[in-house]
Chains A and B, each alone.
Chain A
Amino acid sequence: MRGTARRIEISAYLYLPLLAVVALLQVTLAPYIQVLGAQPDFMFLTVIAWGLLRGTRTGIVWGFVGGLFISFFSGGPFGVACLALMAVGFIAGLGQTTVTRGQIALPVLTALLTALVHGLLSLLLLDVSGYPVAWLDTIARVLLPTMVFNALLTVPVYAAYRRLHRATGREELEW
């Protein structure tokens, strides 16, 4: 076999601290990085990247765990982030087998599509939970700028997670 890099097998449960740190960065650092009203969604980017790299099942699990952490810090209904990020992880995981080395178009397109799904699903869940949602206004002033901003950030974030993916073995999730 040629070109096999030495891989470090890491327990799946060590990814829990990673997701916890991402959630903390989301609530503390992300608000300071705003462009035209849009701010980065580090957890969303993490779930997309890992879903693309490891498939639907891992994407869903990471979406669930990441959403759980996010829900602890959110003033909104508990679990909204879980459901929305699980959908993100699933959709991103569908593109796993088609991602090739050096390709950035698919991660960016996936980010755009999943950001739309993530945003609409979040708004729907908020609406159902009793939050007044101004659909058109929110889509125009928050969802669309956030979609574009996070799609652009997908490139460096995906590159970073791809290195982690190559350096680590494929985790086996034991239940």
Chain B
Amino acid sequence: MKDLRRGPAVPLLLIAFTLLTLVLHEVGYLQPAEDIVLRIVTPVQRWFSNRASGIGEMVQTLRDLRTLRGEIAGLRQENEALLIENVQLKEAEAENQRLRVLLDFASTNPAYDYRGGEVVGRVIGRDPSAYLDFIIIDLGERHGVGPGMPVVTERGLVGRITEVHDTSSEVLLITDVNSAVTALVQTSRATGVVRGLAGGDLLLDQIRQDAEVHEGEIVITSGLGGNLPKNLVIGQISEVIQRDYEMFQQARVRPTVDFRNLERVLVITKFAPYNRLESLPGEAERTGS
């Protein structure tokens, strides 16, 4: 304690300065300074990230050796189940096509409603806080990336861009507690909202009590709200939580994306938002689309 006898002015000054910067950041006045700093830091960060990923791969390899045997057996079983499911899905898709023709839905792409714009980026860091799930990618304003753009991999939805700097961006992962994604269960079409849980899990919340939801079902984005394309895979239901005295059901969802080993991601820069009204019969004529 002896060095505090010099007076508390410096620590108090630092606390006041920190609070000031917190406010200035929230209103955006610090953006130019942050851009300059990050423009200098990003190449260094990328250098560190290259080395760190090498070390990370070594550590991961050691871990994987122990679990590979079990995984191979499990994957073989899963592959057989997926082959059967694929056949069923193709039949369902064919029936869906016939129904769409009958009802005269306007649909240009049955799989995804985005086209044209995507940029591949590299993950160069993760949020240093244990309570936030963000990643930092090496794409920024100069690459045509903007806030709100969805970020995906071939395995599914990763998150959305929240803050953009000149050469880097922050992506809020769907596993963050601040994230909320409108979703639906692929088979039963039950709708809900996928939220991040502490520890990296996902929860499909606000499912109607009368909806049929089962373990193993795939959860995809619904596209409602227009913030995300529809039909992006989010994960697979691992547990259904239903209590009669509650208004809604819930389900734990295991994400298909491996967030611990994210290296490359795709930013969707352009997509056709899902407009539920336009897809109703007669509405397409009325709106002129």
A: which residues have CB within 8 A of B? 23-34, 37-39, 41, 43, 55-58, 60-61, 64, 67, 70-83, 86, 90, 93-94, 96-97, 119, 122-123, 126, 129, 131-134, 137-138, 140-143, 146, 175
Partner of A97, one of B1, B18, B38, B127: B1
Cβ–Cβ < 8 Å partners of A90 in chain B:
11
Within residues 18 to 71 of chain B, which ones have a CB less than 8 A from any CB in chain A? 18-19, 21-22, 24-26, 30, 34, 37-38, 41, 44-45, 48-49, 51-53, 55-56, 59-60
Do residues B48 and A25 form an inter-chain contact, with CB atoms below 8 A? yes
Cβ–Cβ < 8 Å partners of A26 in chain B:
128
Cβ–Cβ < 8 Å partners of B48 in chain A:
24-25, 28-29
Cβ–Cβ < 8 Å partners of B3 in chain A:
55-58, 93
Q: Which of B77-85, B197-205, B243-251, B275-283 contacts A (4 or more CB under 8 A)?
A: B197-205
Complex A-B: 16 CB contacts under 8 Å: A23-B128, A27-B127, A27-B136, A28-B48, A28-B51, A29-B55, A30-B126, A32-B59, A64-B18, A74-B127, A75-B127, A75-B132, A81-B128, A82-B14, A132-B177, A141-B198
Min CB distance B257 to A, Å, is 15
User: What 7 pairs between A and B have smallest CB-CB spacing?
Assistant: A32-B56, A75-B134, A78-B25, A79-B22, A27-B125, A141-B199, A28-B52
The secondary-structure label for the interface of chain A is: helix
Cβ–Cβ < 8 Å partners of A93 in chain B:
3
Cβ–Cβ < 8 Å partners of A76 in chain B:
127, 129, 131-132, 134
Cβ–Cβ < 8 Å partners of A43 in chain B:
128
| Chain B 250-263 near chain A by CB (<8 Å), digits 1 or 0 | 00000000001000
Do residues B59 and A33 form an inter-chain contact, with CB atoms below 8 A? yes
Do residues A78 and B26 form an inter-chain contact, with CB atoms below 8 A? yes
Whether B96 is near chain A, meaning CB under 8 Å from some CB there, is no
Cβ–Cβ < 8 Å partners of B4 in chain A:
55-57
Contacts known (A31-B260, A79-B22); A73 close to B127, Cβ less than 8 A = yes
Cβ–Cβ < 8 Å partners of B17 in chain A:
64
Within residues 124 to 160 of chain B, which ones have a CB less than 8 A from any CB in chain A? 124-132, 134, 136
Tell me, in angstroms, the Cα distance from A70 to B45 when the chains sit together.
Answer: 13
Do residues A122 and B11 form an inter-chain contact, with CB atoms below 8 A? no
Partner of A29, one of B38, B52, B199, B200: B52
Min CB distance A2 to B, Å, is 24
Min CB distance A47 to B, Å, is 13
